[in-house]
Amino acid sequence: MIRTCLILCIGVILIGSHNPIAFAEQSAQELSRLALEECQKGRIADTRDVRMGHFERAEAIAERAIEADEEYAEAHFALFCSLGEQMRIDGPPSFSSIFGYNRLMSELNRTLELDPQHIDAMSSKGTLLVKLPGMLGGDSEKGEEMLHEVIKLEPSAINARLVIAQNCESRGEHEKALKLATTALEIAKVEKRKDLIPEAEQVLSDIKDGKISD
């Protein structure tokens, strides 16, 4: 009886801690989905430690997804997502680690190489082009063009609208910025995006208060 209970307990622990053996039996598609779910959980978690735990698990699962199928674009995007969230966990992304930055961009570029119209990857690439300095490959004009393309392909895109809204406000296009940010917040609420609603509210508030400058 004791031995049986012990075996059952070990089994429960292994399942609850994302058993590597179980992962080895899953497809790249399923593993990628699980990794992105971990990223999503991390974004809405209340504490830093819990958030980091989700992002680190997402990284481990995404790496297994790539091992299962290196040519599956979503697996590379899941790894990009987990790495990016870890880099920005304490605020704006920190690119102090050249290795970390290069690895991040490598996964994003590989995603787009495998699937040029991967909406989330396009949105992420456009955002980075807008926000990164020129020395790190930033190109605000090119990035904004990519984000407009994202909205054409995915009319409910939220992040793309927020980034363009910030750019518009910095150029003095206040009404356009206000409209984009308002629409982004409305979409986030309709889709119940708990991870994006606070960001949309903040961007809209900053635009209304004139806190965004070039």
| CATH 1.10.3720.10, domain 22-88+98-116, yes or no | no
**Phi, psi values for residue 184, rounded to 5°:** -60, -45
Report the C-alpha gap between 6 and 55 in whole angstroms. 30
Kindly tell me the burial class for residue 175, based on how many C-beta atoms sit within 10 Å of its own C-beta (0-12, 13-18, 19 or more): exposed
Kindly tell me the burial class for residue 125, based on how many C-beta atoms sit within 10 Å of its own C-beta (0-12, 13-18, 19 or more): buried
Encoded amino acid at 212, one letter: I
pLDDT value for 213:
72
Report the C-alpha gap between 70 and 18 in whole angstroms. 21
Domain boundary assignment for the chain: 22-88+98-116
The model's pTM is 0.83
Is pLDDT of 72 > 70?
A: yes
Mean pLDDT of the chain, nearest integer: 88
pLDDT value for 90:
80
